A = this chain, B = another copy of it.
Amino acid sequence: MRDDIDVLVHEVGPRDGLQSIQTIFPTQAKMDWIKREAAAGVPQIQVGSFVPPKNLPQMADSAEVVRRSLEIPGLTVSALVPNLRGAENGFAAGAHQIGVVLSVSEAHNMSNVRRSVAESLDGFSEIVAHRDADDAYKDIVLSGGLATAFGCTIDGKVEVSAVMRVAEEFLKRGADRISVADTVGYANPKQVRDLFDELYRTVGDDVPVGAHFHDTRGLGLANAFAAVEAGVRELDSCLGGLGGCPYAPGASGNIVTEDLVFMLEGMGLRTGIDLDGLLAAREIMERHLKDEPTQGSFVTAGRPLGFEPATAAA
């Protein structure tokens, strides 16, 4: 990680946000959003997902969005892939980081991708082999994502030991980093701290570990704080909390990027991000929304009088 930031905020809105709403953003709208947010200092953006267009038409232009995002100086461009086919396309497009996610909960993984966890891990190994077979791909960072790590809507409780097993398998098979997700918004901050404490004991302090929280039950930022306290230095978030589906009021989106950055900067942790720039990016994003609601508190409340962000103004 860059040495001028303390926590890497990984914007996932163009992927997780957009795939959760009805509106399909034109490619240019995605690029306007991505460029403005990168200009605000966001160091890494997940710009798309390499899935069959019939499954997620919102993501059909991911190759082009990756290619155009690569032209933005200093931005780390990430994308998600579900399998080897997707990885081949993501690698070819040139993404710096490719995320592969499986659900720690067997029932959730089966329901999502019709594979056991073991089969999904084998699929991850194929992706690693594909990268390692081509020298042109050697710098691509492969991220192993652990969904439903804090609980599952089908299985309920998910054992910490199961999370540890999958994390170790990912690393054994060649993951450069792992990302732990509260996919369904079940986590509480004590659980978060305990799980990351155990994870660092299990995999060591040198493995880059990210966290991905949803704010479904209002605890998203409390969980983010707990993760940071436990040592996590990479957090996913979504500008405006995009992704709360208007047809399912309980299905809230990711934690809100601008609220997260406000929290971290106030705590003295440098994100490299300018809050006013984030609000400008949010406006651009919101112009293209139809009925989808956005979330967030900082956008209405603004900065406290005398607020001093950790990241010095440019």
Contacts and interface: CB of A to CB of B under 8 A. Distances in A.
Given A215-B297, A297-B217, A267 B306 contact: no
Given A217-B259, A221-B221, A250 B190 contact: no
Contacts of A191: 266-267
A301 B252 contact: yes
Contacts of A224: 222
A297 B218 contact: yes
Interface magnitude class on chain A:
35 or more
A151 interface: yes
Given A222-B222, A224-B222, A306-B151, A216 B301 contact: yes
Contacts of A155: 305-306
Contacts of A301: 185, 216-217, 250, 252
Of A191, A217, A267, A298, most buried by chain B (CB within 10 Å of CB) is A217
B157 A300 contact: no
Contacts of A154: 305
Given A157-B306, A222-B224, A225-B225, A262 B298 contact: no
A87 interface: no
Interface of A: 151-157, 184-186, 188-191, 215-219, 221-222, 224-226, 249-250, 252, 256, 259, 262-263, 266-268, 296-298, 300-302, 304-307
11 contacts: A151-B305, A151-B306, A152-B305, A153-B305, A156-B304, A190-B267, A218-B296, A218-B298, A219-B262, A221-B222, A225-B226
